[in-house]
Amino acid sequence: MKKFLLMVALGLGWSVLASAQVSVNEGRFQKGDNPAWSQAAFNDSDWPVLSLEKDWNKQGYKISNGFGWYRIHVVIPSSLKRGSTDKVLLDLGPIDDCDETWFNGTRIGKTGTTPEDPEGYASDWDSPRRYVVEPKLVKWDKENVIAVRVYNGGDPGGFFERPAFITKPSLEDFVSLKLERKDGQYQAVLHSKVPSRGLVKVVTKEVLSDQVVRENQWKTTVSPRTDVAFCVNMQGQQRVEVTFTDDKFGETLAASVAAPYILTPPAPATPRYNGPLVFGVRPGSPVIFRLAFSGEKPMKYAVEGLPKGVTLDPDKGVLSGSVAEKGDYPLVLIARNAKGETRAEFTLKVGDKIALTPPMGWNSWNCWGLSVSQEKVMSSAAALINRGLADYGYSYMNIDDAWEAEERAPDGRIVTNEKFPDIKALGDWLHSNGLKMGIYSSPGDRTCGGYLGTLDHEWQDAETWNEWGVDYLKYDWCGYSRVFNPDRDHSVAAYARPYMKMQQYLRQQPRDIFYSLCQYGMADVWTWGHAVDANSWRTTGDITDTWASLYDIGFKRQVGLHPYAGPGHWNDPDMLVVGKVGWSDNLRDSRLTPDEQYTHISLWSLLAANMLIGCDIAQIDDFTFNLLCNNEVNAVNQDILGHQAHMDLDEDGVQTWSRDLYDGGIAVGIFNLNEATLPVDLAGALAKIGLEDVVKVRDLWRQKDIPMGLYHIAPHGVLYLKVTVK
Ligand code: GLA
C-alpha cells in the first residue's frame, strides 16, 4: 500500500478500480531496441514518462520503421486473485503496429510481426492485446514490470488509445462456446484452455412466441485441447439458446442461433419463366441473354419473333448476335421439358438504354475480398448454372478488386496478375453460356485494395476491357482522393469529372458496358449520376453482415432516394450479404439472422437495387437459394416500371415501404425493426398507408394469398406482400 501511495505521488498514473481491475495510463519510454530492456531489474528511472492514451508522435517522438520500448511499473493487489485461478489478464489495448511483451522478465506474448520475422512485417495496429499471465509470474501487492517492445511501420506509433488494464480473467478468457453450421446441421462446440467442468443447458424456443419447445441440461467436462461438441435441433422458425456455466468461475457463457427456415415453395417441374420481361441492348452491340426458365432439365428452348442477326442456342437457351435497327422486338420465349411447355412474352428493346431492370448477378468482394482468382470466379459461375441460379435471371459475374498485376505492360496496357491466367477465356466462356463479365477499377492511381488504378489510362483501359469482353465496370473512387482536393473544388462537376471521362470512353466501345459508380454517395451522387450516364451508383459506404450495417445502409440511407431510380439508372445500396461471406479466404455463414436475411432481400427487392450475390455460389445452401430464387420476390425487383419503393410509415420501430408495379399491384414490406415480435392487424396496417378497398393480399415469400387478420412479424423480420386494390 505504501508503494501504491508512493507511485501515485511520483505521478505514474495507475489506480485500482473497485478492486476488480488496475488501470495504468503511463509508462516509461525509450526509442531504440535493446534485449536488456525486457528484464525486470533494468533501471529505467531516467527514461521519460509517456501517456499510453496518445501515440508517441503526439508526444514528440517519430519512429518510422523502427522500435521503441515502454516499461510499465504497476502494483498488483492480491484482491485480483480469483479462487479457481490466480492468473491475471493483461489488457494493453491496441498498439501501433506490433508488440512483444514481457512480464517481470518473462515473455508472455506477441501480436503482429516485424521485418526481422521470417514471415516479414505485418501490422496489427487495431486489435487489443490481451495476454494471460501465469500466477507464478505475478508479485502480489508488489511492483511488477511490464516491458513492451513496439515496432512501428508507418507513422504514428506506439500505445495510442486507452490505459492498460490488469484484471481478473473471466471465463471467456479460457473457455469458448460456439454454434457452428456443419452439413446443414448446427452443433455447439465447447473449447477450453484449462480443465473445466460445468452445466450445459440447451433451450429450444419458437421465435415468434418465445415459447419453450424443449429444454435439456447435463454436466460436462472439457479437457484442454479436446473440444466437446453436440448437435442442436430446430425446426421451422425456432431458435436454440445454449449456455455453459462453469463450476469454478460460477460464470455463464451463452450462444444462440435461429433455424434457417425456408418459405419459398419449390419450383414446379414444368418450365417456368423467372427472368425480366425486357432486355435493352444498343444497336450493333452483342446481345448476351440467357433464357431464365426453372424446371426439370434437360430443357429445349425456342424463341418466336427473333430479329435478324440474333440466334438462339436451343440446348442452352442462350441468345447471341446483334441487331442493327433500333426498335422494340416482341418475342415469345419458349421452354419445353418432359413435363410440359411454357411460353413467356418478352420484349427485346434495341435502343440507347441498357439496364432496363436492375442488374442481377454476383460479385467477388463480399466473399473472397482480395483473394479472388479466376478459378474462384469460374467455380461460382459454374455453380450459378448448375445450382439453377441462372434460371432466375442472375447473369453478371463481376470480378472486384485484386485482379490487377503490379505493373502495366511496357506499352501502358493494364494486365492481370497470376491469379487470372486468361481473363479473355473466362469472358468467352461466360458469354457462350449467356452470362456476362464484370470488372473493377478506380479513377485514381490505386484501388481501395492498393492495386493499380486507371488514372491517365482511361482510354487504354476501356479498350482493353472491350477486348477481354467486359460487360460491367465498377469504378471505385478510392485512390482518386489523392488527386482530388475538396478544399479547392468541391462542386458536383469536380466529383463527376473522373466518371464523365471514363463514360465517354466506355461508350465508344462496340459493346454495352454497364457503368457502376462506386463513390459511396458523395455529393449526393443520385442527383447527378444519370448525367454521367451511369447505370447505377452506390449510395453508401460498404455493407457488412450485421444488423447495424443493414439497418443503416438499407433503411436509414435509402429514405427519399426513390425519385432518382428508374429504368437504365439505379440506386445501389451495395451487394448482398447472405450465404457464405468473409471478404477473404476464410468464409463464414452470414452473421445476419434468418429473419434479417429475409428483410435484406425483401428490402433490396423493394428498392429496385442491384442484386449482386456476395457469397460463394459453389457453397450455396438451400436456405440461401430460397432467399435468392423466389421468382415473385425477384419479379418486384425486376418490375419494368422501375419505381423504387418509398417509406410510407416509420412508427415505433415499424417501417412500411411500398412501390407501384406495372400490373397495377403494389408491393408492400412491413418491417419490424424492434427486438420483440410484432403483432400486426393486416387491414389496419395497410389502411395506415392509404391502402383501403383491398381485393387481394399475397404473401410473396410463401407465394400464397392470405386473408386479413392478425399476423406476427419476428424481431428484425418482414411481412412482404403484393396488394391489389379496387
Ligand atoms: C471499396 C468498395 C468495395 C470493394 C473494395 C475493393 O471498399 O466500396 O465494394 O470494391 O473497395 O477494394
Q: What is the pLDDT of residues 259-297, one digit of tens each?
A: 999 999 999 999 999 999 999 999 999 999 999 999 999
The pLDDT of residue 83 is 57
Spatial CB neighbours of 362, under 8 Å, sequence gap ≥ 6? 380, 381, 384, 394, 396, 397, 398, 612, 613, 614, 617
* Ligand 1 proximity of 448 Cβ (cutoff 6 Å): yes
Q: Which residues are CB-contacts of 507 (< 8 A; sequence separation ≥ 6)?
A: 533
| C-beta of 481 in contact with ligand 1 (< 6 A) | no
Q: Is the CB of 522 under 6 A from ligand 1?
A: no
Cell of 441: 477499377
Q: Residue 9, SS3?
A: helix
C-alpha cell at 450: 492498393
Q: How many whole angstroms separate alpha carbon 664 and alpha carbon 161?
A: 57
User: Is the predicted pLDDT of residue 575 greater than 50, yes or no?
Assistant: yes
- Give the residue numbers marked as catalytic: 476, 542
Residue bearing the CA closest to ligand 1, atom 1 = 448
Q: What is the mean pLDDT of the chain?
A: 95
Query: What was the pLDDT predicted at 212?
Result: 98
How confident is the model over 570-587, as a mean pLDDT? 97
How does residue 151 score in pLDDT terms, banded at 50, 70 and 90? very high
* Cα 308–chain centre separation: 43
The per-residue pLDDT for 460 is 98
* Distance from residue 403's CA to the centre of ligand 1 (Å): 13
- Output the nine-digit C-alpha cell for 86: 490466480
Residue in 163, 152, 137 with CA at minimum distance from that of residue 64: 152
Rounded average pLDDT over 490-518: 97
Owner of C-alpha cell 489495448: 93
Q: What are the grid coordinates assigned to 98, written together?
A: 506490433
Q: What's the one-letter identity of residue 238? A: Q
Ligand 1 atom nearest residue 538's Cα: 8
Residue nearest to ligand 1 atom 11, measured at CA: 448
**Whole-number Å distance between alpha carbons of 711 and 672:** 12
How far does the centroid of ligand 1 lie from the alpha carbon of residue 583, in Å?
Answer: 10
Q: Are 314 and 302 in contact (CB under 8 A)?
A: yes
Atom of ligand 1 nearest to the CA of 451: 12
pLDDT of residue 13: 54
Give the span between the Cα atoms of 615 and 633, in whole angstroms: 19
Q: What is the pTM of this model?
A: 0.84
Q: In terms of DSSP bridges, do strands 129-133 and 49-51 run parallel, antiparallel, or are they unpaired? A: unpaired
Eight-state DSSP code of residue 491: S
Quote the CA–CA distance of 24 and 74 in Å, as a whole number. 7
Q: Is the CB of 404 under 6 A from ligand 1?
A: no
| Residue 514 bridge partners (DSSP) | 472
Chain center to CA of 8: 47
Amino acid sitting at position 529: G
SS3 186: strand
| Ligand 1 and 658: CB distance under 6 A | no
Nearest CA to ligand 1 atom 3: 542
Helix (H, G, I), strand (E, B) or coil at 494: helix
C-alpha cell at 566: 428508374
Confidence category of residue 10, pLDDT binned at 50, 70, 90: very low
Give the position, in ligand 1's atom list, of the atom nearest the Cα of 449.
Answer: 12
State the CB neighbour count (10 A cutoff) for residue 571: 26
The whole-angstrom separation of Cα 385 and Cα 316 is 10
Question: Does residue 155 register a pLDDT over 80?
Answer: yes
pLDDT tens digit sequence for 435-454: 999 999 999 999 999 999 99
Alpha carbons 312 and 292: distance in angstroms, whole number: 13
Residue 11's pLDDT band, with cuts at 50, 70 and 90, is very low
Residue 300 bridge partners (DSSP): 336
Cβ(447) – ligand 1 distance below 6 Å: yes
> 401 in ligand 1 pocket by Cβ < 6 Å?
yes
16 vs 50: which has the higher pLDDT: 50
Q: Does 18 have pLDDT greater than 50?
A: no
Q: How confident is the model at residue 182 (pLDDT cuts 50, 70, 90)?
A: confident
- Cα 132 to Cα 141: distance, rounded to the nearest angstrom: 18
Query: Which atom of ligand 1 sits closest to the CA of residue 575?
Result: 9
Centre of ligand 1 to C-alpha 401, Å, is 7
Residue 404 Cα to ligand 1 middle (Å): 14
96 CA → ligand 1 middle, Å = 24
Does the beta carbon of 544 lie inside 6 Å of ligand 1?
A: no
**pLDDT tens-place string over residues 237-260:** 999 999 999 998 889 999 999 999
The upper half-sphere exposure of residue 297, i.e. CA atoms within 13 Å in the direction of its Cβ, equals 11
8 Å CB contact between 274 and 293: yes
Q: What is the whole-number distance in angstroms between the Cα of residue 560 and the centre of ligand 1?
A: 25
Pocket lining: 449 vs ligand 1, CB cutoff 6 Å: yes
**pLDDT on residue 183:** 78
Residue with cell 470480378: 399
The string of pLDDT tens digits covering residues 310-354 is: 999 999 999 999 999 999 999 999 999 999 999 999 999 999 999
Q: How far is the CA of 476 from the centre of ligand 1 (A)?
A: 7
Q: From 265, 413, 269, select the one nearest 336 (Cα to Cα).
A: 269
Q: What is the pLDDT of residue 87?
A: 83
Distance, in Å, from the CA atom of 350 to the CA atom of 344, rounded to the nearest integer, reads 19
Q: How far apart are CA 469 and CA 432, in angstroms?
A: 11
Hey, what's the cell of 452? 493499380
Q: What is the pLDDT of residue 82?
A: 67
pLDDT, mean of residues 39-53? 97
Indicate if ligand 1 lies below 6 Å from the C-beta of 442: no
At 630-643, the pLDDT tens digits run: 999 999 999 999 99
